[in-house]
């Protein structure tokens, strides 16, 4: 897992860890639920950010079967995590059930 980027200060030494440092973290969440039209799930970042990330994006890894016509986004973002919100994008759609559907996420400061 990448380490959070460090704000450079006078006199700091260049280390391998600092050269690999980034302000981006990525992950995958497996989502499972039964007969829902929306769903929330808590996601914890592998490493806490110094402040809440300015941007967290999500993407459902499938568009077939029960995931068709669904969307996802991050809500309630904090330095330690966010809430994944999955929702039906068509009000006429019936409730669906998901079993271990991967949802990718990326957070950056």
- For domain 24-108, the CATH architecture is Sandwich (2.60)
Would the pTM count as exceeding 0.85? no
Please tell me the distance from the alpha carbon of residue 94 to that of residue 91, in angstroms, as a whole number: 8
What does the pLDDT average to over 83-92? 91
> Which has the higher per-residue pLDDT, 63 or 60?
60
Amino acid 8: pLDDT: 62
For 13, counting Cβ atoms within 10 Å of its Cβ (0-12 exposed, 13-18 middle, 19+ buried), the class is exposed
Residue 105: CB partners within 8 Å, gap ≥ 6?
26, 27, 28, 29, 43, 56, 57, 58, 59, 74, 82, 84
């Amino acid at each position: 897992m990448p380490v959070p980027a460090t704000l450079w200060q006078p006199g700091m030494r260049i280390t391998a860890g600092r050269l690999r440092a980034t302000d981006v973290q990525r992950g995958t969440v497996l989502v499972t639920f039964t007969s829902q039209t929306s769903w929330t799930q808590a996601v914890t970042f592998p490493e806490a950010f110094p402040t809440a990330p300015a941007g967290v994006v999500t993407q459902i890894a499938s568009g077939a079967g029960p995931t068709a016509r669904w969307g996802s986004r991050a809500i309630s973002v904090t330095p330690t995590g966010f809430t994944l919100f999955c929702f039906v994008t068509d009000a006429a759609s019936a409730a669906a059930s998901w079993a271990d559907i991967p949802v990718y996420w990326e957070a950056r400061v």
